[in-house]
Structure formats: C-alpha cells, structure tokens
C-alpha cells in the first residue's frame, strides 16, 4: 500500500503526474492534514472555466510582477498551460490552491478555461500546500514567508518546529522570519523591494525599536554592509542601555519637556535630550557617523543647507 508523504517532501507526493494512473487511496494517518483527493480528478485534469476560479485569500505570494506575467502569457498563447492548476470546490465554483501566477497569465492570454486538478483539501492543507510550493520554487520574499509562517503558527496552531519540518528549515530560520514582522512597515517594504537583505534586517532588529528607522536610513544612505549594520545597531543599543542605567530616580521632570523630547525623537528619528527647564536650557541631539549628521542637518534646515 502506498504511503502518504509529508508536505515538505514535495508536491509530487500529493499530485501524481497527469500521465500516470492514480494510485489506490492510502489509509489516512491520524495526523494527516491533507484530505483525500477526488479520484476522478487526480491523473485526469479537468478543464475549468477561468471565470469560475477565485484566488486563494491566504496565498502567501502577494507580488506578481507585470513583466513576468506578460512573458508567461506569451508562452501560454503559444503552448497552452502545460502544468495544471490545483483547486478545490468552493461556493459553487473553485478556489485556487496552487497556480495563481498561471491563472493570472492565462487571463492575460485570453483563455476561457484552464486545466485543473480538483482536491478536497482542508483550510490548513491549502495554506501548507501553497506555502511549500512557493518555498520550493523560491518565489516568496522574506516578508511573504514571514506572513505565511505566522498564518500557520497563529491561526493553524502549529509550532515553529512543525512549520520548519514542513518546509525543510530549522526552527531558528522560521523564528528569524517571524521576527521580521516586528519591523516598521517601511523596513518591511525595503525587504520586499530588495533595498535591504535579510541579513540587514536581522542586524537592525538588534537595536531598540524606536531607533530602527534611523538605522535603516543610515544603511540605505551609506550603503552599509551587513557587518557594518550589526556594529552600528550594537553600538546604539549599548549607548541607549548605558543612558537608561544612569537615569535613576532623580528629580521629577517637567511633563511638557518630556513630551517635547518624545515628539522631537519621533520627528528626527534620533536620541533627543532636553537639559534645563521650559524657560532656559539646551537641546542635545545624538548622531552616529557623518551620514547621520548630514541627515539631521538637512532635516533641521529643511533641505536648504
């Protein structure tokens, strides 16, 4: 009797090639997450009207570059869709599990119907299959991977170890991706658009939360390496840690001065200290390197300096 294979070992374990006859249905294991596929669909893809197929709302891949879709559409016009989509029945139609890129390109190519294998799959199985397929093809950027892992951990109740086994990674790799979701949106977009690497992002995460955008600005402006970014983040974290230790209880400060410090810190993305009272004192701004000093100068002078 055939043995069901884990998702992480490839989609061929779920969908046999179209030229092969369907294997006898195996006895389901207690922890199996993929429901039995419809026997008449496996090995004999149906031709399904494109208008009856809806995208998977939990598709891990969010970016579909227009240039890539145009090239694929041109190929589909010449040769057709060579690899069937994978769908499940949903609401009188079908929901995509695997193949959204081919589905989108087929629409651009003007096709009315596409070949599709119909599976009876659980919500959890749909998330896993879509994730594994994209991971195996290296189609996902780090933030898309992070959201996909988060979906499995938070909404499907899987541990980081379980997620790692499904996609062939160790637990620490999964944990590192999940930490990316702690970054501000602008830094996440930098990862998506490849302005920063995964190594840069991990280095930025070593710094205090309120300092991460400032470090990101300096990394992009100065073209810093991952090693230089790590050094900068550690140095800033150390300075901020020393400053917080020195504060102590001390006398209470004017709440208006404290509020102004916070507003300036947010606006300038650097450490700000106001010494004195509202009537007299000084404002101290911290910077780390020439690029940071130049950024602060431009910000204070409104770009006229």
> Catalytic one among 67, 68, 95, 100?
100
Asked whether the beta carbons of 106 and 116 are under 8 A apart, the reply is no
User: Is 100 in the active site?
Assistant: yes
Instruction: Give the CA-trace dihedral at 253, 257, 259, 263, to 10 degrees.
Output: -140
Spatial CB neighbours of 251, under 8 Å, sequence gap ≥ 6? none
The residue among 204, 176, 178 whose CA lies nearest residue 190 is: 204
* Residue 266 φ then ψ, to 5°: -65, -45
* Residue 73 φ then ψ, to 5°: -60, -40
- Give catalytic residue positions: 100
């Amino acid at each position: 009797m055939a043995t069901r294979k884990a998702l992480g070992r490839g989609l061929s374990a779920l969908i046999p090639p179209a030229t092969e006859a369907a294997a006898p249905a195996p006895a389901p294991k207690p922890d199996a997450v993929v429901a039995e596929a419809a026997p008449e669909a496996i090995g004999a893809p149906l031709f399904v009207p494109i208008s009856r197929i809806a995208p998977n709302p939990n598709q891990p891949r969010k970016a579909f570059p227009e240039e890539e879709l145009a090239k694929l559409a041109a190929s589909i016009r010449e040769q057709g869709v060579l690899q069937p989509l994978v769908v499940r029945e949903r609401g009188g139609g079908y929901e995509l599990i695997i193949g959204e890129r081919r589905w989108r390109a087929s629409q651009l190519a003007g096709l009315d119907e596409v070949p599709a294998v119909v599976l009876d799959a659980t919500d959890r199985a749909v998330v896993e299959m879509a994730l594994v397929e994209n991971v195996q093809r290296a189609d996902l950027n780090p933030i898309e991977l992070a959201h996909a892992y988060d979906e499995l951990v938070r909404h499907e109740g899987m541990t980081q170890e379980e997620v790692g086994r499904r996609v062939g990674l160790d637990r620490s790799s999964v944990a590192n991706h999940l930490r990316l979701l702690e970054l501000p949106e602008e830094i996440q977009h930098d990862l998506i658009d490849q302005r920063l690497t995964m190594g840069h992002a991990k280095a930025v995460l070593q710094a205090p939360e309120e300092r991460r955008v400032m470090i990101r600005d300096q990394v992009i402006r100065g073209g810093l390496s991952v090693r230089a970014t790590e050094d900068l983040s550690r140095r800033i974290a150390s300075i901020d840690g020393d400053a917080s230790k020195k504060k102590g209880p001390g006398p209470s400060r004017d709440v208006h001065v404290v509020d102004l410090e916070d507003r300036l810190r947010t606006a300038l993305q650097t450490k700000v200290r106001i010494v004195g009272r509202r009537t007299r004192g000084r404002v101290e701004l911290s910077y780390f390197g020439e690029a940071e000093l130049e950024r602060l100068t431009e910000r204070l002078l409104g770009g006229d300096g």
